[in-house]
Amino acid sequence: MIRPLTLLTLAALAGTAQADGREIDYRVDDEAFTGYFAPADDEPRGTVLIIHDWDGLTDYERRRAEMLAERGYDAFALDLYGQGNRPVETEAKKAETAKLYQDRERMRALTLAGLAEARARGAAMPTVVMGYCFGGAVVLELARSAAAEDVHGYATFHGGLATPEGQGYADDTAPILVAHGGADASIPLEDVTALSRQLEDAGVDYEIEIYSGAPHAFTVFDSDRYQQRADERSWSAFLSLLDEVLPRQ
């Protein structure tokens, strides 16, 4: 379904977002992390927890957090790599994600710690969890674990979709939105089909949107892979999910 787009492009809106957020230093056991908290402009409707891609927490997630704050949500972008760890080279990015893919317990623990920090800083409940690329895979890991309380929805944008052996989805998993590029060479359509079957079998409320011609990382502003049409449609779908699961009181 094609949804109406805003008068300004999302890239333009992101460039004009008010920078009211602030960096948040926090600790998980003996490790230091730095997240980013953007409070809602008005009375918050809830919180969106943002999980970064394989670059680590950068200006991209900060811009998305500000965009959500302007829409009336508290937004917290967590840090899964640790304070000051923002890899630049491709091999370094692969190495950082591999550490967490190989230690799913740590992946979940750091995600839950970020959520706890957001709430400790006053972020409103309930919560929707969303993520990009690697962060999208983390979103689904959290959804399968059912470890987070008061999460009303999940969204993954061009994220990893494969389910590790021995894992699955419970029938009471909160609604899931999957935004996927039809031309994604990193995450094949076979993974999309397999996930759909798993969610159907589990009875999970889900929506999968596939955008024609959109490559992997199609939402990343100012990149060679950015596709405005797919970005705007996927953002509109996400806002629709937020309206559904975090309605105005």
- Calculate mean pLDDT across residues 7-32: 77
Note the residue count of the chain: 249
Q: What tens digit of pLDDT does each residue of 103-161 get? A: 999 999 999 999 999 999 999 999 999 999 999 999 999 999 999 999 999 999 999 99
* Residue among 100, 107, 111 nearest 76 (CA): 111
Q: Which domains does the chain possess?
A: 11-162+170-245 (3.40.50.1820)
Tokens of 232: 């705007």
Bridge-partner residues for 210, per DSSP? Answer: 180
The predicted structure's pLDDT at residue 99? 98
pTM (2 d.p.)? 0.93
Strands 31-38 and 22-28: antiparallel
Taking each continuous run of H as one helix and of E as one strand, the counts in the chain are: 7, 8
Q: Is the pLDDT of residue 7 over 70?
A: no
Q: What is the DSSP letter of 247?
A: -
- Calculate mean pLDDT across residues 191-199: 98
Tokens of 127: 């919560």
Rounded Cα distance, 116 and 104, in Å: 18
Rounded Cα distance, 37 and 23, in Å: 6
